[in-house]
């Protein structure tokens, strides 16, 4: 992107801040050669003329000498050799270039006066050809950090135990992508219960739900426990995730007001009412 700007809106719809955004200045870095085109669980490996500015886990833009362009994630860096998490939608070749992609903008805390959910970010971008692009993003202003419940190490450990043959042929990028998808799935299930990761005091209570989310994402890639029909296994993980989240939140302190204090409304337990038909 040649230029970009951001506008921040409160949950009520009022604009509270605007700023010029900066684009990651990395590159352009040139592909010297393609070492490996990649597999289903490991992205392509290339050598570059430089790796200055690249970092593992970072997102970048590859511009192909064949005319296409796409976003790529860096999985491994060894000297000038770089492995991507997944293959882009096209074949990499010599003379392709890698440039920075991520946008950033400073937003002062004074503009975010109240802790609340569902703030809106409006991005306005122009590329090198002066074509305008717009994007919308939702975020939350909270007191405690919204940490990841599903981390790469947990995913790697689980896959190594359950499918050691798969784990031996994968790299960091595969596990990181799987962890992010499982995290997103778990968070969507939590929000259905009006709960968010930053409001849950005892995150260890969600360990069962975390594993169900990982198994669900693996099932979507065809990795199913022995003896199961794939569709039935996927449905079983969907049910297990919802049940595990519900069980974890029952009787737990969920600080929905993000106040840091316990009050009766924060702890909700299941209530069963006996019903009888006469």
If asked whether residues 94 and 207 sit together in one domain, one would say no
244 belongs to a structural domain: yes
Would you say 55 and 43 are in contact if contact means Cβ atoms under 8 Å apart? Answer: no
Q: Is 147 part of any domain? A: no
pLDDT of residue 272: 47
Q: Are residues 95 and 114 in the same domain?
A: no
Residues ≥6 apart with Cβ < 8 Å to 172: 56, 57, 75, 76, 85, 152
Clarify whether residues 160 and 212 are in a common domain. yes
Identify whether 134 is part of a domain.
yes
Query: What pLDDT was estimated at residue 238?
Result: 92
Instruction: Clarify whether residues 41 and 88 are in a common domain.
Output: yes
Residue-wise pLDDT tens for the chain (278 aa)?
Answer: 678 999 999 988 999 999 999 888 998 999 999 998 877 667 899 999 999 999 988 899 999 999 999 999 898 999 999 999 888 888 899 999 999 988 888 888 888 877 787 889 999 998 877 889 999 988 888 766 656 788 888 999 999 888 888 777 777 888 888 999 999 999 888 888 777 766 776 777 888 899 999 999 999 988 998 889 999 999 999 999 999 888 887 767 677 666 777 666 656 554 444 556 65
Identify whether residues 15 and 52 lie together within a single domain: no
Burial of 62-99, coded b for 16+ CB within 10 Å and e otherwise, reads bbbeeeebeebbbbbeeeebbbbbbbbeeebeeebbbb
For residue 277, is it within any domain? no
* 0.75 surpassed by pTM: no
* Structural domain includes residue 271: no
Within 13 A of 125's CA, how many CA atoms are on the CB side?
Answer: 19
Inside any domain, residue 10: yes
- 118 and 78 in a single domain? The answer is no
In a domain, 254, yes or no: yes
Residue 41 sits in the same domain as residue 171: no
Residue span of the structural domain in which 13 resides: 3-23+104-141
Domain count, the chain: 3
Amino acid 269: pLDDT: 54
Q: Does 94 share its domain with 113? A: no
Is 198 inside a domain boundary? Answer: yes
């Amino acid at each position: 992107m040649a230029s970009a700007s951001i506008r921040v809106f409160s949950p009520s719809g009022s604009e509270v801040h605007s700023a010029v955004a900066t684009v990651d200045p990395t590159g352009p870095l040139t592909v010297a050669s393609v070492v490996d085109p990649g597999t289903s669980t490991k992205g392509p490996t290339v050598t570059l003329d430089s790796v200055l500015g690249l970092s593992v886990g970072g997102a970048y833009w590859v511009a192909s000498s064949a005319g296409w362009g796409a976003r790529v994630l860096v999985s491994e860096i060894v000297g000038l050799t770089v492995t991507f998490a997944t293959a882009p939608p096209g074949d990499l070749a010599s003379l392709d270039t890698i440039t920075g992609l991520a946008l950033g903008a400073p937003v002062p805390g004074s503009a975010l006066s109240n802790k609340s959910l569902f703030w809106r970010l409006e991005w306005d971008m122009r590329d090198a050809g002066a074509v305008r692009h717009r994007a919308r993003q939702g975020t939350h202003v909270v007191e405690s950090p919204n940490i990841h419940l599903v981390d790469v190490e947990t995913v790697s450990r689980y896959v190594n135990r359950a499918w050691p043959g798969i784990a031996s042929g994968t790299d960091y990028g595969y596990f990181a992508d799987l962890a992010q998808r499982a995290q997103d799935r778990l968070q969507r299930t939590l929000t259905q219960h009006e709960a968010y990761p930053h409001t849950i005091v005892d995150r260890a209570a969600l360990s069962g739900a975390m594993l169900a989310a990982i198994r669900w994402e693996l099932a979507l890639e065809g990795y199913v426990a022995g003896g199961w029909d794939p569709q039935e296994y996927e449905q079983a993980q969907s049910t297990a995730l919802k049940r595990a989240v519900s069980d974890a939140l029952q009787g737990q302190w969920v600080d929905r007001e993000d106040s840091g204090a316990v009050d009766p409304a924060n702890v909700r337990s299941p209530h069963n009412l006996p019903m009888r038909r006469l």
